[in-house]
Structure 1
Amino acid sequence: MSDQFDFEVRVGLIIMCMASAASALAVGGLLLYIAYSAGTIKRNASRRWSTDTHIHYYFLNMMISHLILSIGELLNIQWIVDARLYPGTVCTVQGFLIQVGDVGVALSTMAIAMHVLQVLVLQRKSPPKFALLVLAIIWLVTLFLVVVPPIVVQHNIYGTSDHWCFVDGSTTMQVGLVFIWLWVTGVVDVISYLFLALVITRLVLVDGRRFRWRRKQDSRIIPYGVGTSAESARAIQILSYPLLYIVQVLPHSVARFLQFSGHDVPFAVTAFTSTLFASCGLFNTILYAFTRPGLMPGRPSYVPQSVHVATARVAHNRFAQGYMVEDDSFVTETGPVQAP
């Protein structure tokens, strides 16, 4: 049983709960809209949700994980009311939900980044059922992380952790069961973003299955700035979710690194980074609304034209055959895309 929370801690937890509540309401509302859209709006309508692409599946899984995480963080209300933290059923449930939500969001975000890298940079596509395999792997990994550790250590792995409940135990256990997945996802997101930026700006050329730096003798390559703005905007929109994840998880990770290293991290810093991280669901919902014009009433749906990126010899469509950008956001399998 922990000591009584002072006023500063309770205010910080209240702010975190407000961010979690906003995320839960936003994500829950979006998921209800998606269910309504998929079930009642006519097929091929601009506002109808469909699961025609891999990223639709990954995005849906990411938002469900956000909702689980937000619900777990909302249980901080119990500690605000009691002004202290203590083990028990609520503590165990909170630790479980936060772990499942953290890992689910991380792996889903990684899946989005890797799919964008596969389609836009490597120009390889996979059958639609491959997305279901990826989702199965994500939930199997999550189930393994939740079920196996308690069996190995022979006790409940969730308990009090500073100001809320989380994975209880050593730093190694917390890193292995939660934080390593956040950090690996951040690294994969950065690599994907850098690769796509290098290809879009023509600094790196895709020559068949090889990558190489652009040389002066590549005179037939479209120069930087010609025909790239539309593609750059679309690619950035697709990668906005992994990029947003990096921005929100980085401060949280730095604070945890300092804490794991034995530094005294002020609660104000912990509260700020945790509130930022708790807002992920809200920001992703806002991002979705702005990158999907068909979702918003009164906003015209926009179908972009085919765009070009140069390889070693000729200019060709960067989106592999059978792929194009839908609604400025997702990569959709449609059939051959004709270059103008």
Structure 2
Amino acid sequence: MTLRDFFNFSERAGLLFTIEASLLSFVAVTFILCFALLKWLRGTLTSWGRRRPADASDSSLFLNLMFADLIQAAGCLFNFRWMAEAAVTGGPFCNAQAALKQVGIVGVSLTSLCIAVHTFTVLVLRRMPPKQASKIAVIWIWIFAAIIITIPHAIHKNETYYGPTVFWCWILPKWKTEQIVTEYLWVWLAALSMLILYTIMYCVMKGWINIGKSLGAPLVVLDTVESGGPSVDDLEEEKRVKAIAKLLLYFPAVYLVAIVPNSISRWLTFDGEPPPPELALFTNTIFALSGLFHFILFLLTRPVMVVGKPVVFVHSLESARNSSSTPKRTYSNSSLGHLPERYDFTGTQGDFPNISQTALRSPISVTLSSAGHSTANRSHSGRPRTARLAPSSSDLD
């Protein structure tokens, strides 16, 4: 099969599906990015001239994933022209689509990998990366994306590098090495790494793997009711932490569902023959929906970005320790796996302790609020419900 000048009706209809999927992703991620920007501007204006409270949600990597999805969706939207003209033609418009698609997919792959590493470090190793690690990672992701775009263009400046590839524009088939080095390598490296990391995380959360004291991880110290056991509310909070952590496991699933079929479709072109049109258009439609899938996961795993106020840290571990003389009981983590327990919280029933950089960096106490509740919920003994991690010596230095 060779490149044809015009698409038939079914092929143009297939392109329409890719456009609709891209539009859904584009609108979804634009909503999140605009909302996050407005929230940041509001917080900046309301706290102008005075110190802002510590915000427990550093969503740099998640927002960067949204931005990469936006670029990727924008590249797919260029298919509208090919559908209207029933053909793909070379030129600046074609080059722009190819560059956007390449930058977007590399950005999504590397950001997804960074999220996996960050989540693994926090949930399994229970170590908090440096404060600016996420922002530095974002900067390097885009520096790298710029490099893989500019260097091949510089090498092939007198040759055609991007061009029509049946239904859209991308790196021409004759540049197979460039296709692998500038995109496929990072897509599959991210996919394989995420499979390994998230498999370990799942086993740890199920309690099948317990790395325990080998990493110096402290034990959980929970306030107990007068009967000598943990309160029902404490156990409910542990379940909520575990439930949110499990939601993070859907990120590699979404990534693999979006990337693997599209990559297989592209790999079929390596023998010189393009894949069946139905397969190529279907896999690209799934690929174009990745932004919408990430948008849904973002709402589920980072709700503080779209609802409520930032979590404010209100008092230190030392004051929390001195304020209570109630005996504590120590419980092993083995039954829960290693979840992010390096924080204190006092909250209302139904609140969820935000798993965040600031909260995990130091063992301090967090007060949470939710609509409809004005006071802290108390355990059956009448004392404030708290879950606290026994600090190590380094935490108290």
Shorter-chain TM-score above 0.5: yes
Partner SS, residue 204 of structure 1: coil
Q: Structure 1 pair 322/153, CA: closer, same or farther in 2 (3 Å)?
A: farther
Which of 140, 158, 182 is the equivalent residue of 2:162?
158
Equivalent position to 1:336, from 349, 363, 384: 363
Alignment match, 2:151: 148
1:103 aligns with 2:126: no
User: Is 2:226 aligned against 1:205?
Assistant: no
Matched, 1:62 2:65: yes
2:340 partner amino acid: F
Matching residue within 261, 273, 276 for 1:251 = 261
Counterpart pick for 1:289 among 299, 305, 322? 299
Please give the secondary structure, in 2, of the residue aligned with 1:310. coil
State how 1:1-340 maps to structure 2 within 5 Å: 2-40=4-42, 52=56, 56-154=59-157, 155-168=159-172, 169-209=174-214, 229-261=239-271, 265-294=275-304, 310=333, 318-319=339-340, 321=342, 330-334=355-359, 335-336=362-363, 338-339=388-389
Match of 2:382 in 1: none
CA shift for structure 1 position 79? 0.8
What per-residue deviation string (whole Å, max 9, x for no partner) do you get for residues 235-280 of structure 1? 2223332331122212222222333356662211111111011011
Residues 277, 327 of structure 1: CA spacing in aligned structure 2 closer, same or farther, 3 A cutoff?
farther
Conserved 8 A contact 2:60-2:134: yes
Q: Mean alpha-carbon deviation: is it higher for 86-95 or for 232-241?
A: 232-241
Q: Structure 1 residue 209: deviation in Å?
A: 4.4
SS in 2 for 1:159: strand
> C-alpha deviations, 1:258-309, integer Å up to 9, x for none?
3335666221111111101101111211222234445667x9999xxxxx76
Secondary structure of the corresponding residue to residue 166 of structure 1: strand
Distance apart, 1:182 and its partner CA: 1.3
> Residue 126 of structure 1: SS of its match in structure 2?
coil
Cα 1:133/1:309, change in 2 over 3 Å: farther
Change (3 A) 1:323 1:174: farther
Aligned residues: 313
Q: Which structure 1 segments of 5+ residues have no match?
A: 44-49, 212-225, 303-307
Q: Which runs of 5+ in 2 are unaligned?
A: 48-53, 217-234, 312-330, 346-350, 365-387, 391-397
Identity %: 27
Report deviation, 1:152: 1.9
CA distance in 2, matches of 1:323, 1:161: 55
8 Å contact from structure 1 (residues 248, 276) kept in 2: yes
Whole-angstrom distance in 2 between the partners of 1:161 and 1:141: 25
Alpha-carbon deviations, 1:82-137, whole Å to 9, x = none?
11111011001001110110101111111100101111112222221122221122
Alpha-carbon shift at residue 336 of structure 1 (Å)? 0.8
- Structure 2 CA distance for aligned equivalents of residues 271 and 28 of structure 1: 24
Instruction: Report the 3-state secondary structure (helix = DSSP H, G, I; strand = E; otherwise coil) of the residue aligned with 2:129.
Output: coil
SS in 1 for 2:210: strand
TM-score (normalised: structure 2): 0.70
Conservation of the 8 A alpha-carbon contact between 1:58 and 1:135: yes
Distance 1:173 1:293, change over 3 A: closer
In our comparison, the structure showing a higher alpha carbon Rg is 2
Shift of 1:208: 4.0
1:190 alignment partner AA: L
Asked if 1 retains the 8 angstrom alpha-carbon contact of 2:210 and 2:338, the reply is no
Bigger mean CA deviation after superposition, 251-260 or 130-139: 251-260
